[in-house]
């Protein structure tokens, strides 16, 4: 099908001024769905509120109070090694908790760096522990000195001017 250049120009002009329609709607307003309609996908369409339906089953009443209820069982529990099990009643749940199962997946729990560091420091002798801690303090001081070296003399004086002196008294500003 060959279209003449004049016909293509007329079509382009109709698109640009919005007079070309698609299914009775202006081309710039092709979607009948308003943005607010996609926030709660459980709501059914009504005569004055058309909306898409996203139901997993054929049942999905608009104002059913049961639609928002949750049930505690079945539910997942985890062993310390990460093994996942499903319990189907309160009695099974309590029995498995007593056996050592937990309600949060151990793989999802963030590691505690402070606890890990305590374990590593406890494995050292007191002399080695002091050596490591003093080295960490020196490294912190070195990092602060490197950052302070980037400041101008005036900025450094303004920064340090409000800090207390080593003997505990604050420096008086002029």
Indicate if the pLDDT at residue 25 is higher than 70. no
Kindly state whether residues 104 and 131 are assigned to the same domain.
no
- 39 found inside a domain: no
Lowest-pLDDT choice from 2-11, 49-58, 83-92, 125-134:
49-58
pLDDT tens digits, residue range 107-153? 887 788 898 899 999 999 999 999 999 999 999 999 999 998 998 98
- 29 found inside a domain: no
Residue 92 C-alpha from the chain's centroid: 33
Which of 70, 71, 74 has the alpha carbon at shortest distance from 92? 74
Measured torsion, CA atoms of residues 136, 139, 141, 142, in degrees rounded to the nearest 10:
170
Structure-token match 């997993």, residue found: 56
- 57 found inside a domain: no
Query: CA 130 to CA 142: how far, in whole Å?
Result: 18
Kindly state whether residues 101 and 118 are assigned to the same domain.
no
**Which pLDDT belongs to residue 142?**
95
- 83 found inside a domain: yes
Kindly state whether residues 144 and 105 are assigned to the same domain.
no
Query: CA 104 to CA 107: how far, in whole Å?
Result: 9
pLDDT tens digits, residue range 26-80? 545 555 555 555 566 666 777 777 666 665 665 556 666 676 677 888 999 999 8
CB-neighbour burial class of residue 84 (10 A; exposed 0-12, middle 13-18, buried 19+): exposed
**Which pLDDT belongs to residue 27?**
46
| Residue 90 lies in domain | 71-109
Kindly state whether residues 122 and 144 are assigned to the same domain.
yes
Question: pLDDT class for 19, splitting at 50, 70, 90?
Answer: low
């Amino acid at each position: 099908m060959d279209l003449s250049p004049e016909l293509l120009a007329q079509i382009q002009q109709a698109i640009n001024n919005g007079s070309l329609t698609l299914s009775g709607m202006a081309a710039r307003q092709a979607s009948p769905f308003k943005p607010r309609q996609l926030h709660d996908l459980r709501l059914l369409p009504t005569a004055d509120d058309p909306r898409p339906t996203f139901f997993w089953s054929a049942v999905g009443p608009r104002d059913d109070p049961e639609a928002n209820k949750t049930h505690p069982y079945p539910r997942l529990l985890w062993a310390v090694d990460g093994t996942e099990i499903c319990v189907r009643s309160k009695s099974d749940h309590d029995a498995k908790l007593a056996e050592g199962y937990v309600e949060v997946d151990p793989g999802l729990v963030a590691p505690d760096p402070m606890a890990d560091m305590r374990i590593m420091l406890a494995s050292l002798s007191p002399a080695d522990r002091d050596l490591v801690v003093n080295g960490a303090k020196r490294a912190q001081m070195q990092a602060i000195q490197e950052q302070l070296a980037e400041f101008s003399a005036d900025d450094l004086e303004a920064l340090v001017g409000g800090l207390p002196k080593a003997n505990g008294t604050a420096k008086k500003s002029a």
